[in-house]
Amino acid sequence: MTAAAAPVKSVLNESKQIERAAMLIQMGARMQVLESETSLSYERLIRLYKEIAGKSPSKGQLPFSTDWFLTWQENVHSSLFLNIYEYLSKGVSLDSVELLTKAYRLYSEQVATAEIEPLLSFTRAWRLVKFVDAGMLTRTKCSQCGGHFVTEMYENPRAYTCGLCNPPARAGKSKSAGALMLH
């Protein structure tokens, strides 16, 4: 019987992991995302975070609730991101982090072009993908406009109407800059 060989440390692999972590930090990823998506040690990630961001990373756990993605404006932003993510996943061969970062960049470009404040942080986008992968959230087609929106798994697709076709009573009334406005 032979013992399993320990993985050989590769300078090239470590360099790629540092590059990946740096990109994620620049996009606003929290420590939990970095720990999950790289093989670097916690201590190394802390030092890298401080060097790139110029401050210590935020403390505390990430929220573990699907509710945020289902409220009106947040749902519109989450749905835009997830539709971009799903579209890219069908046409491009990328690993999960590359796919996430490309989709998030496209989401950011779209909201900037529309002069809308981005509500979806990179970490929330990452969490959204994890919720979808775990079967906690899905996309459901709106019965009126045909768009696909983030919903809970048990949403009735025949009766579902999105928040753009049937907005809440106070939706679009905000005077804050960058908010969605309904006409």
Which residues sit in the known binding site for Zn(2+)?
Answer: 142, 145, 162, 165
- Cβ pair 103, 81 in contact under 8 A: yes
Give the pLDDT band of residue 174 (cuts 50, 70, 90). Answer: low
Is the per-residue pLDDT at 180 higher than 90?
A: no
Give the up-direction half-sphere exposure of residue 84: CA atoms within 13 A in the CB hemisphere.
21
Is the per-residue pLDDT at 3 higher than 50?
A: no
Which residues sit in the known binding site?
Answer: 142, 145, 162, 165
